[in-house]
Structure 1
């Protein structure tokens, strides 16, 4: 008799213990599995890690005076290089566009295939997969690791633990070392690291990333997905009944019976599902989820349970894909005797594709029409203007020129909109036609103080419009900025 029943029977309170409100999470021992989705995960892991480790060493010729690393985040010079693209600090909107595109692509993938990002491309998933492969290589598969954890300490156990953690630390150190190569010339920095001549900040960041990779991928694993990552919570608000998720087809699998019990039930004319309750889907899951309980926070949609279930179904001579990428709507349709339908093209996915196309097109247009020079003007506010003894009005401006090429350039600055105006500067030469000529070093900026003088009739107390134009004296490229000319 339970405590609750005793309470009802005796009509009085009874103190009883139902166990702790929060129980410790049991350690997950994922079992080795082979199949379509496992091979796909290995292929993507190799591609992702290969790109991560190799890209810093890929060369890209940008001409003289420019770095030749294909991808480089040049913090000292405030530049970002990506093959043929060079991004300046003033062009931060490109990063904004990339973040928008990445978010929309994530939303689209979720609307189509659920948490496919989590299962195949997330850095936590990729490195955890690699760490678990090392663990199996050293300590064996699921049963061997469970026995090893339960066994008393011995020379064999200590040796395996040292080997496993040593390999984990080696991979983690390589991860941190590869990351900092994106911030400096990779071959040069590698030589400096091994000869102990690299900057202290490089060793500090390698240490930080080594620790985080080792701890998150080696020890926390599924806890990151369950408790630290916000995406599972966000994903629940973005999915719908037509999204393809890893699904246990309960319309076909229930009731669960062993092979022998199912044969007896079928002989007696009773229902018997295809699921034999072998728990292989749970054993291979990297987060310890039982997919037969439905959609859950811990499921990362990796598909390994599909491979495990298919292998069991093949052994018992039953159709595969008892667990498959499917929708809840199709389970209901099959229960009603209707054919399943798959709606990859629907209003939600069309909207995402259209917005991605619009944002992508705007970014491509901006990139293809971007200028390789820059001009910005700031009016001097103290004083707004000065009156000369000859009756002329003078305004001061701070003008910044930018040369985004890898070779020196000469610009001519002209003024328009002020009849009779002249322009002078101590940082620039005056040309015969009255324009100012400035020379810029490769990939550099120059700030100059210029003074525009015009008759009082050309000025206005509220500010007369004035246009400044910088022209490349070699190829004719121009940049124009509008400002105001103030007077009494």
Structure 2
């Protein structure tokens, strides 16, 4: 009887292999630098831009004013009841993602995703302090913690922490006046929520951009799975032209393909994958492997494009001897992407039209139903209504209140003998009004009478209306 040792259960978790991308030069790397500078510049600078909106209004160009339930974007002011503008922008963002993914694959992940941008910045700082790939590998493999390794690690982590702190600090400036909040933060007088938010964002940026990096994209982010469903055989992604590169071999081998197995494409990849193994979920289509391969092809005097943007449908076309297809005609301008473009443009135009035709005054009417009506001493029937008058102007305006639709009804404004009220600048005012029907009139003795409230801005003649119903005695 033979004894067989039981097999140890296989681990379902693969330990992370640290990735140390090599520095590379090229068009795609330059494009990533430009996008990084622009996006980070917008993020850090925007809260400090000023915009004169007049007295009693914040002068921060972009502000999410949660306390007053308002969103300011330069000259645009979005009120709570106008949330459909935000919904429209989210729809445009979704359609834009569909458009770019169907045309260029995971181009958002490779160039503009915050995780990618901040990870790029952290890797750049790491390279400045510890050196390029080989130097960082040697430092990583060094088991002994000497003074030099400790010094480099501490300096790197402090630089990362400063970037993370600036990231968390910049975020909270979007929700209140930036100069005032900065002063309160420095003097330790800010609200605890501000410190908590900065602390959480600092910690997540430090950990995600400095240590987890590609793990966030692979395991935490849902977009690799979702975007994979948006792509088709005509979608441009980064691929390896194995019909050109195989079999791999030395540069002087006449039987070998163009690929000399230099591993340059692998060494520059921030996700640590080999693009020559085919399409992989981890690939974020950043294009750095293209720059690395083109650099090698230039040194060998061979044609560029061994690694490049191509679609699944291009393989059979190019292996049959044809020249590569036109990117714009066969991959960008096709029915699917044109449909997304049209839908995206329609939503955008609709939002612009709604923005420019929206009134600067607004009115909502709520009848007071307890009691439904009141009979006065002279037999007059009175209904009470609560009007919310919204003045979006930067100065106080006088609003006149009137009604039409029933000749025997008249309106009385509570608290003033006049037919108008002064509404403060950029505020919503609750005003109670009474609508009365004389004794014996059709509205008084009837059941329900429809009428219309009108509110007019006496400064410029803008008018809005809302329909309502008068409750009579029902005799």
Aligned residue for 2:197? 205
Report the alpha carbon displacement of residue 222 of structure 1 after superposing the two structures with TM.
0.4
Aligned residue for 1:273? 257
Aligned residue for 2:431? 448
Q: Structure 2: 5+ residue runs without aligned partners?
A: none
Asked if the contact 2:265/2:292 (under 8 Å) is kept, the reply is: yes
Question: Which SS does the other structure have where 1:438 is aligned?
Answer: strand
Are residue 345 (structure 1) and residue 333 (structure 2) matched? yes
CA distance in structure 2 between the aligned counterparts of 1:415 and 1:277, rounded to whole angstroms:
83
From 362, 380, 404, the equivalent of 2:392 is 404
Asked if the contact 1:392/1:454 (under 8 Å) is kept, the reply is: yes
Asked if the contact 2:376/2:382 (under 8 Å) is kept, the reply is: yes
CA root-mean-square deviation: 1.9
Aligned residue for 1:322? 306
TM alignment of 1:277-296, pairs within 5 A: 277-296=261-280
Question: Which SS does the other structure have where 1:399 is aligned?
Answer: strand
Asked if the contact 1:419/1:458 (under 8 Å) is kept, the reply is: no
Asked if the contact 2:404/2:451 (under 8 Å) is kept, the reply is: yes
Query: Structure 1, residues 161-183: CA drift from partner, whole Å, max 9, x if none?
Result: 10000000000001111111111
Question: Which SS does the other structure have where 2:156 is aligned?
Answer: helix
Aligned residue for 1:121? 112
From 313, 318, 333, the equivalent of 2:297 is 313
Asked if the contact 2:414/2:434 (under 8 Å) is kept, the reply is: no
CA distance in structure 2 between the aligned counterparts of 1:462 and 1:167, rounded to whole angstroms:
75
Are residue 193 (structure 1) and residue 185 (structure 2) matched? yes
Question: Which SS does the other structure have where 1:34 is aligned?
Answer: coil
Aligned residue for 2:100? 109
Asked if the contact 2:414/2:433 (under 8 Å) is kept, the reply is: yes
Report the alpha carbon displacement of residue 465 of structure 1 after superposing the two structures with TM.
1.3
Moved more, 336-345 or 319-328: 336-345
TM alignment of 1:29-428, pairs within 5 A: 29-151=20-142, 152-260=144-252, 262-263=253-254, 265=255, 272-341=256-325, 342-427=330-415
Aligned residues: 464
Query: Structure 1, residues 223-281: CA drift from partner, whole Å, max 9, x if none?
Result: 11001111111111111111111111122112222324x33x2xxxxxx3211122211
CA distance in structure 1 between the aligned counterparts of 2:46 and 2:283, rounded to whole angstroms:
32
Asked if the contact 1:423/1:450 (under 8 Å) is kept, the reply is: yes
Aligned residue for 2:417? 430
CA distance in structure 1 between the aligned counterparts of 2:447 and 2:73, rounded to whole angstroms:
45
Question: Which SS does the other structure have where 2:331 is aligned?
Answer: coil
Query: Structure 1, residues 307-363: CA drift from partner, whole Å, max 9, x if none?
Result: 111111122221111111111111111122334323321111111111111111110
Report the alpha carbon displacement of residue 207 of structure 1 after superposing the two structures with TM.
0.9
CA distance in structure 2 between the aligned counterparts of 1:339 and 1:126, rounded to whole angstroms:
35
Report the alpha carbon displacement of residue 459 of structure 1 after superposing the two structures with TM.
5.3
* TM-score, normalised via structure 2 length: 0.94
Query: Structure 1, residues 196-230: CA drift from partner, whole Å, max 9, x if none?
Result: 23222222211111111101111110011001111
CA distance in structure 2 between the aligned counterparts of 1:104 and 1:407, rounded to whole angstroms:
38
CA distance in structure 1 between the aligned counterparts of 2:115 and 2:13, rounded to whole angstroms:
26
CA distance in structure 1 between the aligned counterparts of 2:191 and 2:8, rounded to whole angstroms:
59
Report the alpha carbon displacement of residue 416 of structure 1 after superposing the two structures with TM.
1.0
From 459, 466, 488, the equivalent of 2:451 is 466
CA distance in structure 2 between the aligned counterparts of 1:386 and 1:196, rounded to whole angstroms:
57
Moved more, 191-200 or 55-64: 191-200
Report the alpha carbon displacement of residue 15 of structure 1 after superposing the two structures with TM.
6.0
Question: Which SS does the other structure have where 1:236 is aligned?
Answer: helix
Asked if the contact 1:175/1:209 (under 8 Å) is kept, the reply is: yes
Question: Which SS does the other structure have where 2:92 is aligned?
Answer: helix
CA distance in structure 2 between the aligned counterparts of 1:80 and 1:328, rounded to whole angstroms:
44
CA distance in structure 1 between the aligned counterparts of 2:110 and 2:406, rounded to whole angstroms:
64
Asked if the contact 1:460/1:485 (under 8 Å) is kept, the reply is: no
CA distance in structure 2 between the aligned counterparts of 1:86 and 1:399, rounded to whole angstroms:
22
1:402–1:21 distance in 2 versus 1, CA, 3 Å: closer
Asked if the contact 2:380/2:444 (under 8 Å) is kept, the reply is: no
